[in-house]
Structure 1
Amino acid sequence: MESNGTTNHPADCDVSVQLSDCGRQDATAVFEALDRVFAGRDMPSPGPEQAHDREPTVWMATFDSSTRRENEPAPSQLGAEVTALLTGDQQAVAAVEKAIGELFEVRSATSVSGEHEREARLLLAPRQVTR
């Protein structure tokens, strides 16, 4: 295992999560939900929302898949569908993808695996509440 250079943390545990086709509120909902499950390493600081500011096209954060918390994550709500792109080590991406499936409805999932890395593209949707 190689270290990422900033800490004694193994770099192959990091998963980059990129969100697109969503606004600030949905990006925050996804990142906060994942942060309740894994330690966020490079969490964005969205800052105050202003009417004249343009929203980013892609929201990014990095999560440490080796820090899975044992508590049961509560499902989170989205206002609309969100496209998520996960990249990292195959096992790390699989762990984050599994957690996302527990938190949100995954409407579609595709993945491409390389020799050491995996890229997964997920379409997240608001989870339907059953009564």
Structure 2
Amino acid sequence: MQLGTTRLLFAFVPKNQIRHGSVAFLYKQMVTLLFGLIVVEKGLIRYPVRDFKKVYKGSFSFEYFIYPSICAIFNLHYPENSSKLVKLLYNSFYSGILTLGEVLIKRYTKLIEYKKWKWYWSFLTIGITNYSSRLF
């Protein structure tokens, strides 16, 4: 999964926009640290298989690499001069793809367990944090 994400970064981040992508990447890491810890500590989601079991209860790979990488691509290709509807659809597309991936991982693997969580909370939080990264 991480190798595929690395390939996406090389394919969709132009060399002249690496700085802009890095800012979006680092911002998303900061946001996911906060929200990821809250969601896990409140018992809303559980990750039975983790990278650093004794240190971090969240999904390190997703929250610190995959999700921030997708956010960098989201920001670099954002339709800045388009209508509000196009911007909303763009954000919804990225939120939907990430949510769909999470739902499929939840359904077909044992990597994610929803305790008091629903897929639409993921969709909303991803959409809001993508929007906040644009504001930043």
TM-score (normalised: structure 1): 0.27
Task: Give the number of the structure with larger relative contact order, counting CA–CA contacts within 8 Å between residues 6 or more apart.
Answer: 2
The structure with the largest strand share of the pair is 1
The structure with the largest helix share of the pair is 2
